[in-house]
């Protein structure tokens, strides 16, 4: 079909992630399409950012109920939108690809860090 479809994957209430949290979910789980397994964009809108010892958003993927595999990450350093972009044509991304069939965004914060996640989207080939 070759259509790039954006889809809101935010949790119903804006999650506030406080200090020293590890892999706190900030999205619902979502299906990764065949096209998305080799090329996708994730957008995360953050506010009330207190960077402290750092904030990292991460894509985790899995097949079924087993333990998730960590994929690409991005630092959240200020209010606004950050992107996780994966593309098979980028040599550095090939380590993560192909992605497994179920995805989820999580956040890890360091000491003195906090963030509110206002929204999250996945954009992948349908």
Residue 102 near residue 30 (C-beta atoms within 8 A):
yes
Report the pLDDT value the prediction gives residue 1, as an integer from 0 to 100: 53
Q: pTM for the complete prediction?
A: 0.93
CB atoms within 10 A of CB 83: 12
| pLDDT single digits (tens) 94-105 | 988 999 999 999
CB atoms within 10 A of CB 115: 26
* Percentage of the chain modeled with pLDDT above 90: 81
Residue 50 pLDDT > 70? yes
Three-state secondary-structure class, residue 17: strand
CATH number corresponding to 4-125: 2.60.120
Residue-range domain boundaries for the chain: 4-125
The gap between the terminal CA atoms of the chain, to the nearest Å, is: 7
């Amino acid at each position: 079909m070759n259509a790039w479809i954006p889809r809101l994957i935010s949790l119903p209430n804006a999650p506030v992630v406080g200090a020293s949290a590890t892999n706190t979910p900030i999205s619902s789980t979502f299906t990764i399409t065949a096209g998305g397994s080799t090329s996708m964009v994730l957008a995360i809108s953050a506010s009330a950012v207190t960077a402290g010892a750092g904030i990292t958003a991460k894509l985790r993927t899995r097949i079924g109920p087993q333990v998730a595999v960590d994929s690409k990450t991005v630092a959240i350093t200020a209010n606004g939108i950050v992107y996780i972009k994966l593309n098979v044509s980028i040599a550095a991304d090939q380590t993560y690809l192909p992605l497994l069939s179920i995805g989820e965004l999580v956040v890890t914060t360091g000491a003195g860090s906090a963030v509110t996640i206002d929204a999250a989207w996945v954009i992948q080939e349908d």
